[in-house]
Amino acid sequence: MVKVEFLGPISQEVLELEAKTLADVATQLQNIETIAPWLAKCAVAVNDQMTADLSMVLKSGDKISILPPVCGG
């Protein structure tokens, strides 16, 4: 199981998913009606490292963070 956490304004509790790669996470999140519209504008971190690799292999206990559009300052 991996943990998926949604940051900032996305109102969604932490999800626990079975996933071997980030692509598996993508497929499952695309099927959640309240989450799907966010995905096009969200960046992703695995264990707090930003990533751009959908084929990244995940292991049990990994933390995936979903980061919506930002505006600091």
Q: In this complex, which beta carbon is closest to another protein, that of residue 37 or of residue 59?
A: 37
Q: Which of residues 26-65 bind another protein (CB under 8 A)?
A: 26, 29-30, 39-45, 48-52, 54, 65
- The 3-state DSSP class for residue 53 equals coil
User: Is residue 22 involved in binding another protein (CB under 8 A)?
Assistant: yes
Residue ranges that bind another protein, judged by CB under 8 A: 7-9, 22, 25-26, 29-30, 39-45, 48-52, 54, 65-73
